[in-house]
Structure 1
Amino acid sequence: MKATRAGRKGSLGLKEIAAATSVSVATVSRVLNGSSRVDPAMRKLVLEAAARLEISPQRRNKPGSLVFLLNNRSALAPFHASILVGAEAYCAAHGWDLFFFSFQYSPNVSSRELHLPKVLQRRDSVRGVILAGDTSPNFLELLEQKEISYVVLGNNILGEATELKNDVVFSDETRGGGDVSRYLISLGHQHIWFVGNTRLPWFARYYDGYRQSMEEAGLTPRFSSIDSKDDTEIGYLGTKYLLSTGEPVTAIFAGNDATACGVYKGLREQGWRIPEDISVAGCNDTVGGLLYPGLTTIREFPEQVGRHMAELLLERIANPNLEPRRLTIPTEFIRRDSCAAASAAQQKFNEALPPSAISH
């Protein structure tokens, strides 16, 4: 994804006007983008300087460049790659260029201690940012302090970020978690465990849907949480742990498909069959169709998430005074062969097993 180089006149603007008026580049950008949050006298000064330099605000509002920023991830996971594909397709269809960058920063410092990545300091060419990866409130605060337009993947915001002035797009993981749990309950399962790192928001949202459905059915939610960012490791170690407890289990709900891969491995090492002994379900449908047996899971639509993120961002660039918007993309339940009905004999067998028999 390469941006087309603009001609000399297209790249002129913010810095030249800022130098001519002795105001900040950020203020010049707000004026030329039509923001009303500028003192009228300052607006008049900037527009007069733009006229002298023959720089048209209308020309500046033509399509330009956006940045897709992957925060605090060492690699582009399939889910985020699909978001990028959807965002790039929308941008291309509307004449905008999209750059991809990754950015590592500490989520534990104040916004004033953070520094913008260099690409976002180029306010004369980059008009906004699409945030994926793991985004923390301090970085969102920095973007808002710098008045940079953004849209963020809500499922991956770490911690509380309630006062956002820009836009958020979610995939409906909580509803998806409820759909999986209700399906397992409909099959007669009572001893359903959730496996995932519930310290991370995307696991926590699926767990919330699971917990709500279990409680509505009068069942006890149980979870095995491993503090790791390696999804397969979370599934493998979480499964080994729950099997070692001696508590009954007839079904495992894995926090994503990669975690389900680890669950499969952990069960098979212990001699358990899927789904004859223990049913397994996952979510996000990234590799579920490749597993054996095929994994019952929740399908998310990351390309649609990406398209809507790009759409909201371009609308905000055109109209900076829009109220913050929250958009949730539905999920789809996908039934495959990894789940089976829990027979009365299986329930009784699991409940009667001592810890030594489970950890064979």
Structure 2
Amino acid sequence: MTKTRKSKHGGPGLREIAAEANVSIATVSRVLNGNARVDPAMRKQVLDAADRLNIDTPQPSKSGALVFLLSNRTMLPPFHACILAGAESYCAAHGWDLFFVSLSYPPNATSRELHLPKLLQRREMVRGVILAGNPSPNLIELLEQKNISYVVLGSNILGEFPTLKNDVVFSDEMRGGEDVTRYLISLGHRDIWFVGNTRLPWFARYHEGYCRVMEEASLTPRLSSIDSEDDTEIGYLGTKYLLSTGEPVSAIFAGNDSSACGVYKGLREQGLRIPENISVVGCNDTVGDLLYPSLTTIREFPEQMGRHMAELLLERIANPELESRRLMMPTQFIRRDSCAPVAGGETHSADDSDSAFSAISQQ
């Protein structure tokens, strides 16, 4: 049956739809104009009523704006910059604007104590949020309370992972951690240390993959964890500490490429060569090919992650009733020059000259 468009009293069948749906004419008007403030259940109620009346409802405009929200980071890290570039490219190709906004807030505050940036309060313009940085559950809860569509970078959610009503994209760090650890073991390495800050989720996920493979090989996982958010500092201090212990080490698994930069510096200050004395691997492939020797690492695909995050968000805006979705992006092992086989089973450790770092606890 062909639908008709009625024209009575201020719009195409507004009164009839309102009466059928048992809502106000203003609510019907907001639904038909694509207003994002309307509750999804109410929107469905109105559209179902229009369908029963055979009234052809206009399709809301698909153009608008999204916000890339960088939470609790003082600057845009290279990995997140690539996610932003991918999201921006996808938005531009589909007629959407993308605004960049940073937000600092207490991770342990209640959602009621948080305040969204003013731009996000302009719901007639901003239709959804790509949530990156170091998001915590209280911010996600606030977005859900405000009925704001979002997609979140799951690998970076701090604290206990919440039950999500919207969408999440992960990078498969655990598999990546397994891949580089197996590679080091295949070269004969047994004394492999992980250097990172396992209080942060992206380090913790790589560390979990590392531990899994070490235990499968009946090897002892060794961790030098530094409580810092400065990646280079984490690598440098973590290396200085593990060398000060005098324990054997033949390879270091740095929790990301920036931490590997600090590892390189810490080793060279002790007169150790890479990879002749100690092999090094990193993660995320942001600066690995710029180091000397070039860094063996795990490549993630942040630009593709950004594109997929934007795609999922636009799909949710078009269909708010979608079930929560999870997308796991694969990683790729990249072999370069920073690793070598263990020569004659020899491992290397430093003397106790770095005892000043003994106060840094080994987790």
TM-score by length of 2: 0.84
How many residues are aligned here? 328
Are the equivalent residues in 2 in contact too, given 1:33–1:318 (CA < 8 A)?
no
After superposition, the Cα gap between the structure-2 partners of 1:188 and 1:39, relative to the gap in structure 1 and judged at 3 Å, is closer
Seen in structure 2, the aligned counterparts of structure 1 residues 305 and 223 have a Cα distance that, compared at 3 Å, is same
Q: Structure 1: which amino acid aligns with 2:139?
A: F
Confirm or deny: 8 A CA contact 1:31 1:38 kept in the other structure.
no
What do the CA deviations read for 1:247-271 (whole angstroms, capped 9, x no partner)? 1100000001110000000000011
2:10 maps to which residue? none
In 2, Cα distance between equivalents of 1:176 and 1:288: 15
Once the two structures are superposed, the pairs formed by residues 263-282 of structure 1 within 5 Å of their partners are: 263-282=263-282
| C-alpha distance 162-32 of structure 1, shift in aligned 2 (>3 A) | closer
Residues 40 and 321 of structure 2 are in contact (CA less than 8 Å); yes or no, is this contact kept in structure 1? yes
Cα drift, residue 74 of structure 1: 1.1
Given that residues 194 and 222 in structure 1 are in contact (C-alpha distance below 8 angstroms), is that contact kept between their aligned partners in structure 2? yes
Greater Cα shift, 29-38 or 127-136 = 29-38
Supply the distance in 2 between the matched residues of 1:135 and 1:286 (Cα, whole angstroms): 21
Which residue of 2 is the match for residue 293 of structure 1?
293
State the secondary structure of the residue aligned to 2:41.
Answer: coil
For residue 37 of structure 1, give the secondary structure of its aligned residue in structure 2: helix
For residues 159 and 322 of structure 1, the distance between their equivalents in structure 2, rounded to whole angstroms, comes to 26
- Conserved in 1, the CA contact under 8 Å of 2:68 and 2:132? yes
Match of 2:246 in 1: 246
Find the aligned partners of 1:297 and 1:32 in 2 and give their Cα distance. Answer: 43
Give the Cα–Cα distance (whole angstroms) in 2 for the partners of residues 313 and 185 of structure 1. 41
Q: Which residue of 1 aligns with 2:166?
A: 166
1-side partners of 2:226 and 2:322: how far apart? Answer: 41
Q: Does 1:37 align with 2:41?
A: yes
Once the two structures are TM-superposed, the CA of residue 246 in structure 1 deviates from its matched residue by 1.1
Structure 1 residues 81 and 32: CA distance shift in structure 2, 3 A: closer
Match of 1:122 in 2: 122
Residue identity opposite 2:74 in structure 1? S
Q: Is the alpha carbon distance of 1:287 and 1:63 closer, same or farther for their aligned partners in structure 2, counting shifts above 3 Å?
A: same
Cα deviation, 1:78-112, whole Å, max 9, x if unaligned, reads: 11111011001111111111111111111110111
CA 292–27 in structure 1, closer or farther in 2 if over 3 Å, else same: same
Per-residue CA deviation, residues 27-86 of structure 1 (Å, 9 max, x unaligned), is 999877886512888x49x99xxxxxxxx9745332211111111111111111110110
Which residue is 1:77 aligned to? Answer: 77
Distance (whole Å) between structure 1 residues aligned to residue 151 and residue 309 of structure 2:
6
Deviation larger for 256-265 or 336-345: 336-345
Instruction: Note the aligned Cα RMSD (angstroms).
Output: 2.8
- What is the aligned partner in structure 2 of residue 256 from structure 1? 256
Query: CA offset at residue 160 of structure 1?
Result: 1.5
Q: Aligned in 2, Cα 1:237/1:285: closer, same or farther, shift over 3 Å?
A: same
- Conservation of the 8 A alpha-carbon contact between 1:33 and 1:61: no
Unpaired stretches in structure 1, ≥5 consecutive residues:
1-19, 48-55
| Equivalence map 1:1-360=2 (5 Å) | 36-38=40-42, 43=46, 58=58, 60-347=60-347, 350=348, 355-356=351-352
Taking the aligned partners of 2:168 and 2:112, their CA distance within structure 1 comes to: 23
Deviations 1:180-214 (CA, angstroms, capped at 9, x unpaired): 10000100100000000000011101101101110
Corresponding position of 1:16: none
* Percent of aligned positions that are identical: 70
Contact 1:169 1:328 in 2 (8 A): yes
Q: Which residue of 2 aligns with 1:4?
A: none
Change (3 A) 1:116 1:354: closer
Specify whether residues 342 and 357 from structure 1 end up closer, same or farther in structure 2 by C-alpha distance, changes over 3 A only.
farther
The alpha-carbon deviation at position 354 of structure 1 amounts to 8.0
CA contact (8 A) 2:39 2:147 kept: no
Gap regions ≥5 residues in structure 2: 1-23, 51-55, 356-363
**Residues 233, 126 of structure 1: alpha-carbon distance in 2 compared, 3 angstrom cutoff:** same
Give the match's secondary structure for 1:60.
Answer: coil
- 2:44, 2:287 → 1: CA distance? 56
CA contact (8 A) 2:37 2:147 kept: no
Distance in 1, Cα, partners of 2:327 & 2:44: 34
CA distance in 1, matches of 2:298, 2:182: 13
> C-alpha distance in 1, partners of 2:260/2:204?
16
Q: Distance in 2 between matches of 1:59 and 1:39?
A: 13
Give CA-to-partner distance per residue, 1:107-142, whole Å, 9 cap, x none. 110111111111111111111010111100000000
3-state SS of 2:42 partner: coil
User: Structure 2 vs 1, CA of residues 130 and 358 (structure 1 numbering), >3 Å: closer, same or farther?
Assistant: closer
Q: Judge conservation of contact 1:196–1:224 (CA < 8 Å) in 2.
A: yes
How many angstroms apart in 2 are the aligned matches of 1:71 and 1:107? Answer: 10
CA distance 1:289–1:335, change in 2 (3 Å): same
Distance 1:184 1:358 in 2: 26
SS of residue matched to 1:289: helix
What residue number does 1:53 align with? none
Q: Secondary structure in 2 aligned to 1:102?
A: strand
